[in-house]
Amino acid sequence: FRFIAPVVPADGNGLSGQALCDALQNFRIEDAVPDLNAQQYDFRTDPFEPSRVWFTSRGTGTNTGPVFGALPASGKKYEGPPQTNSLTFNAQGEVTKMTIGYVMDKEVGTTGGLGGIFGVLYSIGYGLPFPEAQPW
């Protein structure tokens, strides 16, 4: 399994399933935004890669819980821009690759054009302090 996003290296590796689970556990986004709704839609099979399914997401939520388990809730709302994501399956039906966070219109939403977890954190007032996690 490989997880790939705009700022996650895709040099043939990306993040492993365990590395992805560890990262998500550290972010604790479900605690920070308990009403997070990914709003995934427009599922379609890739005509050139039939084992790949593309879909769009345009999430929403409100920061009502602690961020990173320690920082106070800001009460700010997250409205994601439309983002393209994909799942690639092997012959056994297992997901072998997941891509997320490719923003389709950076003027939509409250993320400053950021996708994935960086967009959620920026929207709720806790953008991370490095260039890739800041609006362009």
The pLDDT value given to residue 12: 63
pLDDT-derived band at 9 (thresholds 50, 70, 90) equals low
Determine the Cα–Cα distance for residues 78 and 59; give it in Å rounded to an integer: 8
Tell me the residue type at 35: D
Spell out the domain ranges in the chain: 2-124
User: Across residues 80-89, what is the average pLDDT?
Assistant: 98
Determine the Cα–Cα distance for residues 59 and 3; give it in Å rounded to an integer: 19
Instruction: Look up the CATH number of domain 2-124.
Output: 3.10.450
Given CA atoms 124, 36, 100, 43 in this order, what sign does their dihedral have?
negative
pLDDT in tens, 90-127: 999 999 999 999 999 999 999 999 999 999 999 999 99
The pLDDT value given to residue 132: 83
The pLDDT value given to residue 10: 60
